[in-house]
Amino acid sequence: MNILVCISKAPDTTSKIAFTNGNTQFDENGVQYIVNPYDEWYALVRALELKEAQGGNVTIITVGTASDDAVIRKALAIGADDAIRIDALATDAYFVAMQIAEYAKGKGFDLILTGKETIDYNGSQVAGMIAEALELPYISIATKLDVAGSTISCEREIVGGMQEVEVQAPAVISCAKGMAEQRIPNMRGIMAARTKPLNVVAPAALEALTTFSTYSMPAAKSSVKLIDPNNLDELVALLHNEAKVI
């Protein structure tokens, strides 16, 4: 089975979020990048488990610049066989998805996996866009993934519950918590990652459909109003009269 796993970088969750250039650009100063957690913990690890059980190949793909190579090597250290980097700035989800679809077209991947969302732009967009561009079925926010022959079985989140579904390969699946457990790369993996193939591919000529014009920070919270633990009637009255939420 040949699996393509879409990997994005994301700022470490403890990064300070700030903007520069008149609030038009994310301030990368001092920001540590990691592999987007959903891509690493769930999509990549589940792909490796399927390969270990059934054979095949796991390729990772990133749309990004040379500064993303460190994050790509980390995903290789966890166990992916090879990596593709489409050499372009990831301007919007449409641009990213169309680049990946363009690359994947005709290459015979049985499964294309993504994370549920990136933790920086949180759009949950790329997977559905790849599926439409390649005219493949799409199972979104899957928490379990199994493959038997060409039948893919998933558990997916639905409004207010869960659903078990089946679809025939090839398909696109976005992966969430429950699918696999995080793997810590070992020394051997880290050494091997240095020599695994990382192929840099020129981007296709495509335009983005959206742009971020500016950013802003939420208004600072005024300081907390402390309530006497013996006077809960006061809290209830404040929630009703002042906050107007009950």
Partner 1 sequence: MNLVYINSANGLSKAALETVTYAKKLGADVAVVTNGNAAAELLATLGAYGASTVLQDAGVDGQDPSQLVKLVAAAAAKVGASTIIFSHDLIGKAVAPRLSVRLKAGLVAGAVALPEADGSTKVNVFSGKAFGYVKVNSAVRIISLLPNSIQPEQTGGNCSTEAFDSQAGSSAISVKATKKPEGAIPLPEAELVVSAGRGLKGPENWGMVEDLAAALGAATACSRPVADIGWRPHHEHVGQTGVAIRPNLYIAAGISGAIQHLAGVNGSKVIVVINTDAEAPFFKAADYGIVGDAFEVLPRFTEAVKRFRAAQH
Ligand X SMILES: Cc1cc2nc3c(=O)[nH]c(=O)nc-3n(C[C@H](O)[C@H](O)[C@H](O)COP(=O)(O)OP(=O)(O)OC[C@H]3O[C@@H](n4cnc5c(N)ncnc54)[C@H](O)[C@@H]3O)c2cc1C
Using CB under 6 A as the binding rule, whether residue 189 contacts ligand X is answered as no
Provide the sign of the torsion angle of the four alpha carbons 177, 179, 181, 183, taken in this order.
Answer: negative
114 binds partner 1 (CB under 8 A): no
Nearest residue (CB) to ligand AMP, 8 versus 59: 8
Instruction: Candidates 55-63, 75-83, 188-196, 216-224: pick the segment binding partner 1 (CB under 8 A).
Output: 216-224
Residues 208-237 that bind ligand AMP (CB under 6 A): none
Report if residue 230 touches ligand X, rule: CB under 6 A: no
Q: How far is the CB of 91 from ligand AMP (least distance, A)?
A: 9
Applying CB under 6 A, does 56 fall inside the site for ligand X?
A: no
Stretch that binds partner 1, among 47-55, 75-83, 121-129, 192-200 (CB under 8 A): 121-129
Residue 233 contacts partner 1 per CB under 8 A? yes
CA proximity to 180, closest of 129, 216, 146: 146
Instruction: Annotate 126-149 with b (16+ C-beta within 10 A) or e (fewer).
Output: bbbbbbebbebebbbbbbbbebee
Size of the site for ligand AMP (CB under 6 A): 24
**CA–CA dist 108, 145 (Å, integer):** 19
Dihedral, 9, 79, 83, 211 alpha carbons, nearest 10: -20
Q: Which residues contact 27 (CB under 8 A, 6 or more apart)?
A: 18, 19, 20
**22-46 burial string, b = 16+ CB within 10 Å, else e?**
eeeebeeeeeebbbbbbbbbbbbbb
Q: Which is nearer to ligand X, 218 or 229 (CB)?
A: 229
Determine which residue in the list 1, 4, 7, 180 makes contact with ligand AMP, applying CB under 6 A: 7
Using CB under 6 A as the binding rule, the residues of this chain from 17 to 46 that contact ligand X are: 37
Which chain residues interact with ligand AMP by CB under 6 A?
Answer: 6-8, 36, 38-39, 61-64, 90, 93, 96, 114-115, 117-118, 121-127
